Structure 1
Amino acid sequence: TQCSSAAEVATAVRNCIGSYIRKDGPGVALLLYSLALTRGIAMIARDADFETPLVGINGYCSQELVNLLLIGRAHSNVFNGERNVGGGEDDATEGGEGGGVRLKGAPRRANVGFLTLFERQGAEGTLLTVGSNFKRPHTPIFVVQSESHYSVLWAQGGTPPDVLLDSDERLPGDPEPSAAGEDEDEVEPPAQLADGESFSLMYFDQMAERDDAVRLTIHRSTGGGPSATGGHVAPLEAVILTRWPAAEIDWNGEEIIL
C-alpha cells in the first residue's frame, strides 16, 4: 500500500492491524518490510557507514535498524550528527568536517530516545557515548538496550529534571558549549532535581514475566551516585545513570529486574 499522508498511513495500519498483532503472526516481519520500503532499499544502504544486515547474528536487531525505527534513517551510530575519523587530530567532530571516514549518527532530536548499557563500558567522548539527540528526545520515552534485548523506559508528566553530579556539569553526549546555538533543534536542558525532591520513571520489560510496568522513584544521591563511587549496580540502573548520573534509584519494594 502506498500512502501520501500521515492520515493515509494511519488508515492503512488500522485496516490491517490484525495481521500485525496476531499471536505468532508475521507482525515483526511486516513492520520491517514497511520500514525498508518506506525509506527505500537504496537509501538504507547509503545511510549505513558500511554494508551491514539490519538483523544480525542470532536474530539481534542492528543499530542501523534501531535508528531506522527511531529517526527514519539507518545510520550506524548514536552520537549527534556526523564525525570523521582517521583523517587527523581534529577530525572526530560533530560537524562532519575533515578527512578520513565519515560516520553518521542522529542528525536531529528523536521523538523517542535511546539509552544503552554499553555506554557504561566506554569513556565519555567515544563512539559509544549516546548523544543528546537521543538522550533528550521530544517525548520522555526511551528504548533501552541491555545486554541481550530491548525494553522501554518512560517518564510520566512531561520531561523530568536533570540529575547531574554538579550544576555546571554537562550530561555526557550534550554538545560542547562552543557549539551552542548552531543547531536549530537544540534544546535547553531542564532544571536540576533539587535535594529532597523526586520523580517517577516507568519501566516495562517484556521478558520479565510480568504484564505491568514497574514504577521507579528517582532521588538525588547524597553520595554522588554509583557512577561516582564505582559501586555495582543492576543493568537497568546502569542505563539510567547514563541519563541521570547522580540518581539514586528506588524500586519501591519491587524485585530488581536484572
Structure 2
Amino acid sequence: MDKELDSHDRHFSEQDLDAITSKISDLGKWRDIFSQQGLQFKDTVVKKCQDNRKVEDDCGDGAGSPQSRSIKSRSHFSTLSVPYSVPKAFVVPSNLGGLPITLETAVALRKVLFGTAFQVFNYEWKKSHFKFRDPYSDLAYGLEAEKGGTRSIQMAVQAHVLKYLLFTRNNEVESHNIKCLLGVSHKEQENALAAALSDILWTAGEGIKSFVCLVTTECYFAPTIDYKTDSYTERLQLFKFTDKGKLQDFITEYIHCFNGEGSHAVILFLYSLLLSRTLERLHNDMGNTTSHLLQLSLGNFICRQALINLMLTGRASPNVFNGDLQYGDQGALLKEPQHGVLARSDVGYLYWNRHELGHDKLPQVGSMLKTPKLPIWLCNINDTFSVLFNTNRLLLSDWKMEHLFDLYFYSGQPSQTKTVTLTIDTHSHHWEEGMHEKEGDPEKRFPSVEMTIRTKWEGAAIDWNGTVPFF
C-alpha cells in the first residue's frame, strides 16, 4: 500500500510540474509576441546578447524598415491598448562607419548619469523624443514637452530652436516680428531641430570635436555582472565630428532618429552631449560637489543643475551664480571651490520656486545667466520648465529698449494653444503700487511667471494682454 501511495504521489507531482511548465511556456510565447511588436511589461524585459552580434527580444536583428515595422504593429494591434508601450526603436545600419560603443564607455556613461552602472532609464525616458506641434500652426515653432524628468531637456532644446528660427536662419535681420514664427513648415521644423541639437553639442565640445550616438542593428558587447543591459546602449555607434557643418548635416540626414516615436531621442541626445563634453571635462566641471547628473525625485529621474547648465553654456557647472566661489557665507575658505557660470551664453536661465520662499533656499541666478547674448530664457518655475523670449536681438544691449517691451511665453504643455504675449513695463511705475492695502504675501497673489520675470526686471509691471494667467 505504501509503495502504491508513493507511486501515486510521484505521478501527481509530475502532472503538476507538466502543467506549470506548460503555463510558463505560454507566458514566454506571449512575451515574445509583445516584444516583437515593441511592447513591454512595465519597464523590465529580459534581454540577452549572444556572440556580440545578436540581441534577443528588443535588440532583434534589425530586419525591415522602421516604417514597415510600425505599419505591421498597427495592423496587428490596432485595438490593443497597453499602458507601457514603447514603439520599436529606430535603428540605422551597422556599416555607417561609426565607432562601436565599448563596455567601458557604457559603464562610464551610466555612472556619470546615475552614479551606478546598474540603473537604467525608465519608460518615460525611453519614449521621450523631440516632437513639434503641428506645422503651419500658431505654435509650429514649439516642441511638446513631456511631464517629468525629460521636460528640462526638451525645453532647453526648445530655447535653441527659437535661437535658430529667430536669429540664425535670417542672421542679417536685427529685429523680427512674432509673425516670423507662425506657419513654420515641417521641413523648417526638422532644420531647426538639427540646428539646435548640433549647436548644443558643438558648444559642449568647445568647438573642437563632438559626437552623435545612434542605435544600430548589432550588439557590441555581451552582458556582464557589473552592467545591466537595456537593449539600446549596447547597440550604439559613436560618430565623431570636427566640423560643425558636417555635424549638422549628419543630424539632418538622420533627424528621424531624434524626432520619431520610438527613437529614444532624448537619451541619444543626452549620451551625445556627455561624450561631446568628454567625461574628463565633466568631472572637472562638476568638481567634488556633484557626483552624477540625474537625481531621483518623486519616483522619477530629473536633471541636476549641472546638466541644465551644460545644455545652456557648454559647461556642466553645478551652480547658477557667476564665477567660482572660494569662500562660504561666513567668510571661511571652502574645502573645495564651488563652480558657477564663467561667461554669458546665447541662451539664459531664470528661476523661481514658491516652495523655497522664506527658507533661504532660493538660488540667486547670476548676471551671466540672467543677461544672455540673445533674449531667450529657459525658465525653471516651481520645478516646471518653460521658455520666455523676445524677437528683438538688441533688447539686452540697449537699456532704453528695456523700458517697455514684450516677452513671449511658451510652456510646452499641450493645453497651450497660442503664444502668450506679456508686456513688461519697467519704467513708469512699480508693480506693487496700490497693492499695500491688500492682505497677504504678494508672492502668493501673483502668477509665478510674473515673479520669475521680476528676478530679472525688479519692480516691473506685467500685462497679460487679456490672457488669463495660468502659470
Q: TM-score, normalised by structure 2?
A: 0.43
Residues in 2 aligned to 1:153 and 1:63: alpha-carbon distance in whole angstroms? 19
Does structure 1 retain, via aligned residues, the 8 Å contact 2:431–2:462? Answer: no
2:353–2:383 CA contact under 8 A, matched in 1:
no
Which residue of the partner structure matches residue 65 of structure 1? 307
Q: Distance in 1 between matches of 2:362 and 2:284?
A: 20
Change (3 A) 1:137 1:73: same
8 Å CA contact 1:48–1:74 kept in 2: the answer is yes
Aligned match of 1:243 in 445, 456, 461? 456
Question: What amino acid is aligned across from residue 255 of structure 1 in structure 2?
Answer: V
**In structure 1, which of residues 113, 122, 129 is the aligned counterpart of residue 364 of structure 2?**
129
- 1:190 aligns with one of 394, 399, 419: 399
Contact 2:352–2:362 (CA under 8 A) maintained in structure 1: no
Structural mapping, 1:206-217, within 5 Å: 206-207=412-413, 209-217=415-423
User: 1:138-174: per-residue Cα shift (whole Å, max 9, x none)?
Assistant: 111000001132111101122436xxxxxxxxxxxxx
Partner of 2:387: 152
2:343 corresponds to: 108
Offset of 1:252 from its aligned partner? 0.8
Select which of 300, 315, 319 maps to 1:77.
319
Shift of residue 85, structure 1, vs aligned partner: 2.9
**Misfit runs of 4+, over 6 Å:** none
User: CA 1:120–1:114 in 2, change beyond 3 Å: closer, same or farther?
Assistant: farther
Which has the bigger relative contact order, CA under 8 A and spacing at least 6? 2
The alignment yields a C-alpha RMSD, in angstroms, of 2.9
* Structure exhibiting the larger radius of gyration computed from Cα positions: 2
Compute the displacement of 1:211 (Å).
Answer: 4.1
Identity across matched positions, percent: 27
Aligned to 1:21: 259
Change (3 A) 1:102 1:127: farther
- In 2, are the aligned partners of 1:144 and 1:153 still within 8 Å (CA)? yes
Closer/same/farther in 2, CA of residues 127 and 101 from structure 1, 3 Å limit? farther
Residue by residue over 1:62-107, the C-alpha shift from the partner in whole angstroms, topping out at 9 and shown as x without a partner, is: 1011011011111100111111134962x6xxxxxx5532011111
Give the structure 2 partner of residue 252 of structure 1: 465
- Match of 1:191, SS state, is helix
Instruction: Return 5+ residue gaps in structure 1 as ranges.
Output: 92-97, 162-187
TM-score by structure 1 length?
0.76
